[in-house]
């Protein structure tokens, strides 16, 4: 009687072990199937990470075997441009206007499965350009200005002329262009100067409180030469009708001279 009971108890242990082995086997089979499914996503059809000059378009392309494509930017600053704007074509042109790294994502259907992949686009400064970026800390409309070397006294002369690159003269004949104009919230705004076509000399930088940006702190970053780090970063609280004369940047040697002056803005 005791021996029979002992045998039954031993069989129960074996049965429990058998069940455990079956469960673990199913788990490993499921893992293997999941791995096989991931392989069916064909990640090689996704774009590779790449580098582009800021403000210039880069072509992103998926293999035609993918369908129902959705492109997106994980860390979007809201100042990039897609062409076509649907962000669902096999081939899309992407233009970053702010320096730095953009983590991209594309979702797609292939082999009856919904898949995704990520890659990076690094936006670098063209060594033949210098770039000025403006941001501020909240709602309101600030305007970034860059006046060419024809200006002598930035505290008294009129800024709003054809010698001034700003929202009202976004693409100039003397080499500067406003890439981004933000009129609602925090910026950024950005002006780029092509040093190859621009006259050598000192360019004046200004910031105007156009509308509802009282008590906002404006921050200006200046990029000149190689690299994505600003050579200058300065800030100032803005008040009603404030026009901040920031300073000058030399197009030849990137030398910055701080002015930090205030004058009344009269549009």
Q: Are residues 67 and 90 in the same domain?
A: yes
CB-CB neighbours of 227 under 10 Å: 12
Provide the residue range defining the domain that includes 107: 43-124
Tracing tokens 């000149």 back to the chain, one arrives at 224
pLDDT in tens, 3-16: 443 434 445 555 55
Q: Are residues 136 and 252 in the same domain?
A: yes
How many domains, in total, are found in the chain? 2
Flag whether 10 is in a domain.
no
Question: In angstroms, rounded to a whole number, what is the distance separating the alpha carbons of residues 44 and 82?
Answer: 23
Q: Are residues 94 and 74 in the same domain?
A: yes
Residue 37 has pLDDT above 60, yes or no: no
Flag whether 20 is in a domain.
no
Residue 28 has pLDDT above 70, yes or no: no
Give the residue, 7 or 177, on which the prediction is more confident.
177
Give the residue, 243 or 78, on which the prediction is more confident.
243
Flag whether 35 is in a domain.
no
Q: Are residues 141 and 118 in the same domain?
A: no
Q: Are residues 172 and 251 in the same domain?
A: yes
Flag whether 180 is in a domain.
yes
Flag whether 32 is in a domain.
no
Q: Are residues 159 and 192 in the same domain?
A: yes
Provide the whole-model pTM. Answer: 0.75
Q: What local confidence, expressed as pLDDT, does residue 32 receive?
A: 34
CATH number at residue 59: 2.60.40.1080
Give the residue, 253 or 257, on which the prediction is more confident.
257
* Residue that terminates a domain, selected from 73, 94, 124: 124
Q: Are residues 114 and 135 in the same domain?
A: no
Flag whether 31 is in a domain.
no
Q: Are residues 53 and 148 in the same domain?
A: no
Handedness of CA 97, 102, 107, 108 (dihedral sign): positive
Lowest mean pLDDT among 30-39, 67-76, 254-263: 30-39
- Could you tell me which residues come within 8 angstroms of residue 255 by beta carbon, excluding any fewer than 6 positions away? 249
Q: Are residues 63 and 173 in the same domain?
A: no
Of 126, 116, 69, nearest to 96 by C-alpha is 126
In what order do the strands lie in the sheet containing 217-224?
A: 176-180, 189-194, 129-136, 217-224, 232-237
Q: Average pLDDT in the 55-64 region?
A: 92
Q: What local confidence, expressed as pLDDT, does residue 39 receive?
A: 53
Q: Average pLDDT in the 9-36 region?
A: 45
Q: Are residues 240 and 222 in the same domain?
A: yes
Q: Could you check whether the bond before residue 14 is cis, i.e. omega within 30 degrees of 0?
A: no
Flag whether 194 is in a domain.
yes
Question: In angstroms, rounded to a whole number, what is the distance separating the alpha carbons of residues 235 and 217?
Answer: 7
* Residue that terminates a domain, selected from 124, 151, 169: 124
Flag whether 34 is in a domain.
no
Q: Average pLDDT in the 118-147 region?
A: 91
Question: In angstroms, rounded to a whole number, what is the distance separating the alpha carbons of residues 219 and 245?
Answer: 12
- Could you tell me which residues come within 8 angstroms of residue 246 by beta carbon, excluding any fewer than 6 positions away? 205, 206, 207, 220, 234, 236, 258, 259, 260
* Residue that terminates a domain, selected from 124, 141, 157: 124
pLDDT in tens, 154-168: 999 999 999 999 999
Q: Are residues 202 and 99 in the same domain?
A: no
Q: Are residues 232 and 254 in the same domain?
A: yes
């Amino acid at each position: 009687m005791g021996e029979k009971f002992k045998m039954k108890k031993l069989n129960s242990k074996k049965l429990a072990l058998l069940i455990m082995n079956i469960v673990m086997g199913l788990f490993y089979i499921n893992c293997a199937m999941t791995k096989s499914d991931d392989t069916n996503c064909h990640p090689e059809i996704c774009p590779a990470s790449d580098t582009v000059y800021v403000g210039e378009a880069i072509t992103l392309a998926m293999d035609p075997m993918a369908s129902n494509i959705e492109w997106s930017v994980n860390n979007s600053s809201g100042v990039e441009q897609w062409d076509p704007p649907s962000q669902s074509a096999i081939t899309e042109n992407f233009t970053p206007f702010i320096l730095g790294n953009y983590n991209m994502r594309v979702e797609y259907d292939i082999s009856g499965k919904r898949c995704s992949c990520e890659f990076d686009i690094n936006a670098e400064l063209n060594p033949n350009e210098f770039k000025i970026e403006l941001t501020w800390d909240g709602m309101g409309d600030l305007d970034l200005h860059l006046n060419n070397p024809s200006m002598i006294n930035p505290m008294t002369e009129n800024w709003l002329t054809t010698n001034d690159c700003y929202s009202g003269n976004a693409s100039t004949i003397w080499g500067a262009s406003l890439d981004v104009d933000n009129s609602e919230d925090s910026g950024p705004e950005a002006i780029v100067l092509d040093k190859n076509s621009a006259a050598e000399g000192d360019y004046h930088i200004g910031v105007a409180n156009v509308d509802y940006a009282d008590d906002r702190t404006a921050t200006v970053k200046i990029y000149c030469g190689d690299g994505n780090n600003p050579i200058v970063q300065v800030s100032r609280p803005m008040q009603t009708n404030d026009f901040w004369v920031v300073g000058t940047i030399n197009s030849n040697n990137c030398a910055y001279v701080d002015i930090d002056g205030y004058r009344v803005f009269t549009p």
